[in-house]
Amino acid sequence: MLFSSITFIYYFLPVVILLYFIVPFRFKNLVLFCASIFFYFWGEPVYTLIMIFTALSGYLHGLLIDQFRGTKASKVWVVSSIVVSLAVLGLFKYSDFFVETWNGLFKTDVALLKLALPIGISFYTFQTLSYTIDLYRGTTKVQKNFLNFATYVVLFPQLIAGPIVRYVDVEKELTERKHNFENFAYGVNRFVLGMAKKVLLANQFGELCEIFKATDEKTIVFYWVYALAYALHIYFDFSGYSDMAIGLGRIFGFHFPENFNYPYISKSITEFWRRWHITLSSWFRDYVYIPLGGNRVSKLKWFRNILIVWALTGMWHGAGWNFIAWGLFFAVLLILEKAFLGDLLKKIPAVFSWFYTMILVFISWILFDAESIQMALSRIVAMFGGAGIAFNNSVTSYYFISYAFLLEIGCIGATPLCKILVNKLKEKEWANRVVNVLEPIVQVVLLLVVTAYLVDGSFNPFLYFRF
């Protein structure tokens, strides 16, 4: 069940909100747990058991880690929790990838398992691991109430697409969260804004990308239009879904961490990854990079650590060599920036460092979106005129003109310009009153427009839905 669907917006969510706010506080987690199980069961009836198993495994391992705290057994149980969680993730997400790689290397014919990938398994696996690892480290307390812990793992606002919410982020709010009109209003506003980004922008850019892939009359200009459209598509798709998740969390009293901070204004790849998918980057930093030694080791080991982290980051996004290459592409760029390029980027005019960053990010998204490394390389070569195709033609001009206004809106919306203007207006008392009056009207209008698009059966996929 997608957040951006009629079923979710007008049937599931109103019923859950009604039930949630009429029951006493001691039953609120039960309502959220049952609603989350139903939400997941709607799309994955069988694999709901995998999610419950992951929650149960994390809960039991947590009890054992706490019971044997200070002994070697505690370390054994945290290692066990990691092995069990990654084994489940590996079985469903990577088994066929490894089999195909084995068959390719050794010319064997081992049969593929062809297991469907459970929705959101990468997200809830990482969330469970954050609990057991933090518990072992002593940075959080054991949760002895299974319902509370399971509610954290299966909580539907962030279940299938993040942000990756660590247990420490919501530990207190699982039992002591507050509900008020301010939180509810903020949550609704954030949800509607995220839904508008997803339906009105991301979906349209996604359509343009599909048009590009389907046409036989590609040009150099069209490749660049596609690169821009895909960059905006993945940003508004994922950040829009994160906005919806954060908004839903706030409605129910949870404060989820931010996941995006206008990454397309970055002036280096290092800055880009401080702004893009923040919760994933910080997860790998705290649970992989720092335990490997981070940058407090020799330079050679430091660069090794970066390569390991980014190879894993690529694998997290998908079981394919193009994803691993995508991760290593960023690893090399980050190593170069840390070695010498970062200092140079600070000295040159900001427009050039921004241009450098965006070109490389565009190239990375082409690698990310391709079905293979070979396809990605052919598209990148074509972008720079190496495929012997025309610079432009009437087909490219038609689609560029048709989507030009939307691309302009997307480019502006990917910057904090609108947010800055609204905040400037709010500094003036009369303007603040106008904004406060207009804000709910805008929300209603956006909701109606989004609903019209959804009823019309518009293009409505979600890129991170099966990560």
**Contact predicate 3/159, CB 8 Å:** no
Let me know if 317 is a catalytic residue. Answer: yes
CA distance 387 to 261: 36
**Residue 143: both structure tokens together:** 């949760």
CB atoms within 10 A of CB 416: 12
**CA dihedral defined by 443, 448, 452, 458, rounded to 10 degrees?**
20
**Contact predicate 367/376, CB 8 Å:** yes
- Name residue, tokens 């206004």: 405
CB atoms within 10 A of CB 17: 17
CA distance 316 to 319: 8
**Of 299, 193, 266, 285, nearest in space to 236 by CA:** 193
Contacts of 405 by beta carbon, 8 Å cutoff, 6+ apart: none
The catalytically annotated residue of 61, 233, 277, 317 is 317
CA distance 422 to 420: 6
**Residue 195: both structure tokens together:** 């839904």
CA 285 from centroid of its chain's CA atoms: 16
Q: Which amino acid is at 118?
A: P
From residue 169, how far is each of 26, 154, 303 by CA, in Å?
20, 15, 30
From residue 331, how far is each of 33, 49, 93, 304 by CA, in Å?
39, 36, 23, 10
From residue 289, how far is each of 104, 285, 308, 309, 340 by CA, in Å?
31, 5, 8, 6, 21
CA distance 363 to 380: 7
CA distance 316 to 308: 12
**Residue 355: both structure tokens together:** 């241009």
Phi first, then psi: what are they for 457, rounded to 5°?
75, 35
Active site residues: 317
